Amino acid sequence: MNVLCAFESSGSLRNAFTLLGHNAWSCDVVKTSSPGQHYVGDVFDLCDSYWDLVFAFPPCTYLAKAQMFRYHNNIIRSFLRDNALNLVSTLYNSFSRIAIENPAGYLNNHWRAPSQILHPWYFGDPYNKDICLWLKDCPPVIATKYSVLRKSVSNHVNSRMSQAHKSIVKSSWSYYPEMCKAIAEQYSTLL
């Protein structure tokens, strides 16, 4: 399969697909932190290429639940939030088979309800985090092995980190290798 992991710089999901023999690419405006096939640039540059599956992680900076209430009267933040919503909608409509990941928040209430909500502990990873998926021509991901450990991802951040670095750590799927493996294995049968 030709798989594109959009807005992914960690390479975690891309690498899970690559290990199964797929032609998997990641794409982000920053370089990848993991060796592998990676396009540095805008995901919409790749719309004309053929992808069997696109798994996208659009930035949640203006879409997350915490942002909805904290800045709901801020005109600039509202404009940026509306742009982020437009990005997600355009992304969804640009590919025939796509899974979009984002936390619970603005998308749930102002775009559409998620197709599925996962947690890394459904797959044996010891973390509790709501992961919403909006699926288009993709089946739901099935849990494979429940973990009894359910710790917060925020354990990996501290007060000395910049807010930008905290966001990168919290959004990275590098802490969820079992979930990445399960998604890659289950979606490998889509063709």
2-187 has which CATH code?
Answer: 3.40.50
Place of tokens 């985090």: 129
Question: How many other C-beta atoms can be found within 10 angstroms of the C-beta atom of residue 117?
Answer: 14
Domain ranges of the chain: 2-187
| 72, pLDDT greater than 80 | no
CA within 13 Å, CB half, 68: 13
Provide the pLDDT for residue 69: 64
pLDDT level of residue 139 (50, 70, 90 thresholds) = very high
Q: Find, among 129, 126, 130, the residue nearest to 147 by Cα.
A: 126
Give tens-digit pLDDT for 105-115.
Answer: 999 989 999 99
Provide the pLDDT for residue 14: 98
Q: What percent of the chain has pLDDT over 90?
A: 72
| 143, pLDDT greater than 70 | yes
Give tens-digit pLDDT for 146-180.
Answer: 999 998 877 666 667 676 666 666 668 988 999 99
How much is the pTM?
Answer: 0.91
Place of tokens 């990676």: 38
Provide the pLDDT for residue 18: 98
Cα separations in angstroms, 29 against 39, 42, 90: 8, 6, 18
Exposure of 2 by Cβ count < 10 A (0-12 exposed, 13-18 middle, 19+ buried)? Answer: middle
Report the run of H or E that residue 2 belongs to, with start and end: strand 2-6
162: CB partners within 8 A, 6+ apart = none
Provide the pLDDT for residue 151: 87
